[in-house]
Amino acid sequence: MRIRDLPYPDPGDPDVRSGFRLMLWLWRSQLGGQLKALAWGTLHMAAVASFPLAVGVAVQAATERSGDRLALAGALTVALGLAVTAGDTMLHRAAVTNWITAAARVQQLLARRTAALGAALTRRVAAGEVVAVSTGDIEKIGWFVEAVSRFGAASLTTAGVCTALVVYEPLLGAVVTLGVLALVAAVLPLLPPTTRRADAQRAKAGRATELAADTVAGLRVLRGIGGEELFLGRYRGASQEVRRAAVRTARMWSLIDAVQVVLPGVLLIAVVWLGARLALDGTVAVGELVTVYGAVTFLLFPLRLFQEIAMAYSFSRPSAERAARVLALSRGTRTENAMGRRDGARMPPEGDLYDPVSGLLAPAGSLTAVVCGDPDATGRLAERLGGHGTESAAQAPSVLLGGVALDEVPLEAARTAVLVQDKDPVLLSGTLGGLLDVPSSGAVTPGQALEAAQCGDVLAALARAGGAPDGDPMRARITERGRSLSGGQRQRLALARSLAADPRVLVLDEPTSAVDSHTEARVADALRRLRAGRTTVVFSSSPLLLDRADRVAFVCGGTVTAVGTHRELLANEPGYRAVVTRETGGDDGHGTGMAGDGGLAAGPAGIRGPRHERMEESA
């Protein structure tokens, strides 16, 4: 795989049993690139290690006044110089390619997992941890995967040099080999405590990142309650903990650096002292002594790679552990096996939408409203209807669409058939046209979707902000998460996006909870008109929406307990009436009916009382 060929057509199925297994899988997945880096690295280091031989030959030729041997030394030096240049250049290319492709593979895997889990991801993993994994962690993982091949080349070269020295000059070679082993033995005991300190540093840094991400996400709320300084103080404390942990880790690395400077220096002094005595005794020639001295000096270079691989592993292992935890998330074994498949040739199913767990039935082509007294249960049921059930519900029967289990349908086909808009939809930054440029049937134009969602005032607001060049509203800029718009405007833009997609089945969770009653009435009429012939499920307790539904299902205790029109249920179902009208008690024990944002007081005809009139929230 070359960098220009990224992204991968298929990043593969990673081994996520542990962080180490994930990195090992990454290494195996790019075995060709690793072998190239190993070969070029070995060539580069072997050429560098051979320079002392050429220098030794030159010195010996000079002492013996041999022109032929001096010419041979010069030719050998030129050849080794070319080998070093070629090896170093190609090693750099191969190493960078391995680094980038490994990081890109992890990034694609994370993106695929995020897309598969959808909104359930942030309920399983903190947003800050996802940010940490998808930014800094993938670089550290790529660093270790890339460094393995260079470490392998350094190990082969070191073993080769030590063996050659033993053959070339047994006594000095034995001293050098024992010195290298002693150096490695001195550094190895320092690595476990260093790794533990690095793990602690990474854990503290991850918590600080999570705190920062969560604080930024809730900044408007924090300012509203005066908690900005409180959370700023907490982040300062977390940041100082990261700094102290980093200092403790740096001390250990400094100690390892000191050991790797002192011990090679002692070894070099010992070799020079012993070699000088042997040269004075006539046992070793001057050129041979220069060769041994140069070889010992060279060994300082690959020994540095031993420290780098240890540092890369200590920093990348916690990152790989976090990445493995995210990649291991699933909706459940059955759902993953079915919906994670990439055989998306199967056509999306059509027909009635039925949930066997709750007993909810949404007939094909009709507008079905669902009233539930528990907002958490509402969210879970909406997720189930879209095939996004959580892992804890993996053994529950699948939702059926046209008699076909959604869990048995490929992910692409399932999402083409059913679209779920949760109660807190997110608007990405960009143009209005980009926001509405979503996969769709083409039957609903962006203009029709905006009109049905009553977005006229949104377009006017964007135009006043000067974000519509040439008067084209589709080129108007939307800030991140639509922060420049009010809550009701953001909600209606999200509804327009869902309507423009025109799925076979559209599931809306409280789509009008932040708009005033007059706008909500117009949205309800337009929704019924635009979605005629399509299956639509609306979770709401707003009488204006309920009165326009073809059928209303009342969910209590996780199951459907009553079905009918809004007026029929108001007259005959006390529990339903308690939820919709906000009555404080029901005479049949169905509860008070706390339904979150959407419920409003209503009389027998479903008309709101004055004290429950909602006004569009401002920001």
Which pLDDT tens digit goes with each residue over 66-91? 888 888 888 988 998 999 999 999 99
For the segment 566-576, the average pLDDT, to the nearest whole number, is 91
Write out 173-230 in H/E/C secondary structure: HHHHHHHHHHHHHHHHHHHHHHHHHHHHHHHHHHHHHHHHHHHHHCHHHHHHHCCHHH
Select the more confidently predicted residue: 568 or 123: 568
- pLDDT at res. 617: 40
Query: What is the chain's mean pLDDT, rounded?
Result: 80
Select the more confidently predicted residue: 619 or 1: 1
In this structure, what token pair is assigned to residue 38? 């190993």
- pLDDT at res. 25: 93
For the segment 106-120, the average pLDDT, to the nearest whole number, is 81
What is the enclosing helix (H) or strand (E) of 477?
Answer: strand 477-478
- pLDDT at res. 362: 93
For the segment 419-428, the average pLDDT, to the nearest whole number, is 83
For the segment 442-469, the average pLDDT, to the nearest whole number, is 82
Residue type, 164: A
For the segment 279-283, the average pLDDT, to the nearest whole number, is 78
Write out 526-571 in H/E/C secondary structure: HHHHHCCCCEEEEECCCHHHHCCCCEEEEEECCEEEEEECHHHHHH
Select the more confidently predicted residue: 180 or 610: 180
For the segment 343-372, the average pLDDT, to the nearest whole number, is 85
- pLDDT at res. 309: 83
In this structure, what token pair is assigned to residue 16? 């996520």
Q: How many helices (H) and strands (E) does the chain have?
A: 22, 12
- For CA atoms 570, 574, 578, 579, the dihedral sign is negative
What is residue 137's DSSP assignment?
Answer: I
360 backbone dihedrals φ, ψ, rounded to 5°: -75, 130
- pLDDT at res. 225: 65
Q: Residues, the chain, total?
A: 619
Select the more confidently predicted residue: 232 or 222: 232
- pLDDT at res. 123: 67
Helix 31-64 vs helix 19-29: crossing angle, to nearest 10: 80
Tell me which range, 275-284, 306-315, 423-432, 538-547, is most confidently predicted by mean pLDDT: 538-547
The percent of residues in the chain predicted with pLDDT above 70, rounded, is 84
Give the three-state DSSP class for 401.
strand
CA separation for the pair 467, 452 (Å, rounded): 22
The percent of residues in the chain predicted with pLDDT above 90, rounded, is 21
Q: Which of 1, 101, 87 is nearest to 38 (CA)?
A: 87
For the segment 242-250, the average pLDDT, to the nearest whole number, is 89
- pLDDT at res. 467: 61
- pLDDT at res. 588: 41
For the segment 87-106, the average pLDDT, to the nearest whole number, is 91
Q: Which residues pair with 368 in a beta bridge?
A: 537, 551
- pLDDT at res. 36: 93
In this structure, what token pair is assigned to residue 6? 């990224």
pLDDT tens track for 3-42: 777 888 888 899 988 888 999 999 999 899 999 999 999 9
- pLDDT at res. 567: 92
CB 127 within 8 A of CB 120: no
Give yes or no for residue 599 having a pLDDT over 50. no
Q: Which of 82, 101, 80 is nearest to 36 (CA)?
A: 101
- pLDDT at res. 128: 61
Give yes or no for residue 528 having a pLDDT over 90. yes
Select the more confidently predicted residue: 222 or 571: 571
Angle at the Cα of 181 (from 53 to 163), degrees rounded to 5? 35
Q: How many other CB atoms are found less than 10 A from the CB of residue 619?
A: 11
- pLDDT at res. 611: 30
pLDDT tens track for 294-341: 877 877 777 777 778 877 887 788 888 888 888 888 755 444 444 444
Confidence of residue 216 (pLDDT cuts 50, 70, 90): low
CB 358 within 8 A of CB 560: yes
User: Which domains are delineated in the chain?
Assistant: 16-327 (1.20.1560.10), 353-612 (3.40.50.300)
For the segment 582-598, the average pLDDT, to the nearest whole number, is 43
Residues 6+ apart with CB under 8 A from 312: 140, 143, 144, 147
Return the minimum-mean-pLDDT range out of 90-104, 131-145, 323-337, 515-529.
323-337
- pLDDT at res. 374: 82
CA separation for the pair 580, 467 (Å, rounded): 40
Confidence of residue 219 (pLDDT cuts 50, 70, 90): low
- pLDDT at res. 604: 34
In this structure, what token pair is assigned to residue 124? 């399983």
Give yes or no for residue 550 having a pLDDT over 80. yes
Q: Which of 83, 58, 264, 48 is nearest to 160 (CA)?
A: 48
What is residue 607's DSSP assignment?
Answer: P
- Whether residue 7 has a cis bond before it, omega within 30° of 0: yes
- Chain centre to alpha carbon of residue 150: 28
- pLDDT at res. 453: 92
pLDDT tens track for 187-209: 778 878 887 887 788 778 877 87
